[in-house]
Amino acid sequence: MLRNKLALVAATAVVAALLFAPQRGYAVEEDPYIYKSLVGQVLFEFEESATEQNGIASETARFQQTYTLDLKGNFLSRRLIIYDAGVSFTNNDYSSDASDVTTRSTGYYFRTTALPKSAIPLSLYGQRTVDEATTSETIKTTYGLNWFLKLRTLPQTSIYAERTLSESESTDTETGNYKVILKKDLGPTKNEATMSYSTSGSNDGTESSVATFNANNLTRISKSTQLYAGATLSRSASTETDSDANTSLEGLSLLLNSKPSEDFNQNHRYSYYRNSTDGDEQIGTTYSGDMGYKISKRADASLSVSLGTAKNNSSTSDSETESLGVSGGVNLRLTDNLMASESVSYSDYKTNANTSAASTTDTTDTTDTTTDTTTTDTASDTSATTGDRTTLRATSRLSYSKIFTRAVLGAGWGLGYIEDKAEGFSTGQGLEHSFNGSLDNIDVNKYVGFGAGFSQSDTYTLAGQDIFSHSNSYNANAFNKLWKQYVLINASYNKSVTESYIDITGSKNETYRLDATSAYFKNFNLMGYAERSNTFSGVSGSGQNDTVGASVGHNRPLFKGTLSLSLYYTLMDTEYEGGSDTIRDLQFLTQYVRKFYNNLNWQATFSVTQKLSSESDKDTTSFTNSLTYPLRAWFLGLEQKNTYTVESNTETAEASILFRATRVFMRVW
């Protein structure tokens, strides 16, 4: 009998556990329009500050009151009509040693939506704001509608209309914005059209209007091919007291992506634009396309083409630019470590500019490869400048890579033919020769690892005029392999030199850098670096930058709170053509956060910032205390801040205290 009772109790316990055991919970967002709700909020903010600058003291005080009331709900049914309505009032009293100013802002809004859950919801809204100051008043009124239509056979339609009237003592302005968006999927195509129109006018005679039409189409031709087309058309006009302006813009873009197989892919892009403003016109077209084909597991080929034209016609000058670029290549993997490649490229750039001077002027026209300075003496003189360049290049290259036990080897060698013709410079044929090598992760010993690399490219003249060019680069780095749990150290060196028969394209760069980081110490992050950079270019001349930087960060629990410390320091010495400068930047920040009695939050921040350069010197010290405390339905905040700034010959001391209290009232029925 006892066993039967125990069995019955155990069975009952198992069933109860299955029925009443906690299950996974799901959060469901409740519809805010099912019930009627009334939400009110009050905000009081008082701030008092005192400032002393070079012995001259001033005091200011500000008291702000904000009251808002928002009503939300439905009429008869959630599916019939929903509405939002509200009113807000803000009063701001500002006083200083010079004057007392009071500003008020009163706002009202109402928004309602009919049939919100249907396929044709219609929203109407209106808003009015009155801003009052001591000597002025501005009234802004906005009203509009949003209508969405989602019917089965017709395009999905969105209609927006809004008008805004702004009235003030000096100017009255009225604006209107209207937009219609149509969306429709037809078979494999997705279509969208947007039409918008906006107007603006004021009582001072200024008027403007903008009309825009955009159309987009995305067609999936097949599973692996899709075509995108977009067009835009815009017209704008503006009228001022003494002038009128009219602008038109037209644009077209096409994009074709296709990958019919794993071995072949292609992309084509085309764009056109035309922009005209009162007789000035810019017209341009661009095309770019590329194709790739995987011949076999060890061979692949690619081809790319780019075309571009641009015309600029204005009352003072006409210019026209044409560009063409074609390149193709074949890559062949001879072995697992050796690869051969062959590439051919052709580029043609042509430009022509005609400048008409209405009076005696000095005109300087700079193109990619030439600078032409022409002085016109009469109103009918016209200067024409061209800057054409054509380049043909064919290159063969071998690349080798190998992973060894103690290093990773990379090497390359290339030989090519070049024809270069630059307007105003040289025309000739030459031989290109390039080679490169690298060793990475060199394992010399268990203490230090190394890496090094170099590359060089030269062009030798074979016939015609000199088309000489030379470029080389070197890099080396060393890093620690021992004690990496304590610190990571990396030292690097980089140097590059470029020389050409076109002087302005020459450049030299040399950089030494040492980096060290450590996160070994608990709650500490340490970082430091030093860098020297020497530069030279044919445009800006030579320069040298020496930079040293360091940073320290620390976080730790302290007295049931969290203490954060950070220090950043940067020193940079710069020398350039005609001058030098020293820039020093020091930032120190400490922050302590603690919570008292579960509700009182305290945050204290102390910061010091120093910025020094040849043009300015600025030191800023700041200390901030802030307390926040939720008291039932109230949220209270108190902030005290002291700032001391020294800049050039100016000393400024600021002290402020801010008190904020806010409360939210809510009723639902």
* pLDDT tens-digit map of 216-269: 999 999 889 999 999 999 999 988 766 778 899 999 999 999 999 989 999 999
Q: Give the number of other CB atoms < 10 A from CB of residue 11.
A: 10
CA 461 to chain centre: 45
**Short-list 275, 226, 220, 271, CA closest to 250:** 275
343 and 394 Cβ atoms separated by less than 8 Å: yes
More confident residue, 518 or 504: 518
pLDDT band at 203 (very low <50, low <70, confident <90, very high): confident
Q: What is the pLDDT of residue 537?
A: 82
What average pLDDT is seen over the chain? 86
**Short-list 47, 43, 45, CA closest to 640:** 47
**Short-list 598, 593, 569, 571, CA closest to 582:** 571
Q: How far apart are CA 519 and CA 592, in angstroms?
A: 22
Q: Give the number of other CB atoms < 10 A from CB of residue 73.
A: 19
**Short-list 312, 309, 308, CA closest to 354:** 312
* pLDDT tens-digit map of 535-566: 888 777 888 999 999 999 999 998 889 999 99
User: Would you mind telling me the total number of residues written for the chain in this entry?
Assistant: 669
10 Å CB burial of residue 349 (0-12, 13-18, 19+) is buried
Q: Report which residue type is found at 24.
A: R
Q: How far apart are CA 475 and CA 455, in angstroms?
A: 9
More confident residue, 1 or 247: 247
Does the structure show a pLDDT above 60 at 143? yes
| The pair of three-digit structure tokens given for residue 90, joined into one six-digit string | 């803000």
Q: Report which residue type is found at 220.
A: R
Torsion angle, CA of 75/76/80/86, rounded to 10 degrees?
A: 10
Does the structure show a pLDDT above 50 at 362? no
More confident residue, 30 or 153: 153
Torsion angle, CA of 458/461/466/467, rounded to 10 degrees?
A: -40
| The pair of three-digit structure tokens given for residue 135, joined into one six-digit string | 């000597």
Q: How far apart are CA 276 and CA 250, in angstroms?
A: 9
Q: How far apart are CA 475 and CA 117, in angstroms?
A: 66
Q: How far apart are CA 515 and CA 526, in angstroms?
A: 11
374 and 359 Cβ atoms separated by less than 8 Å: no
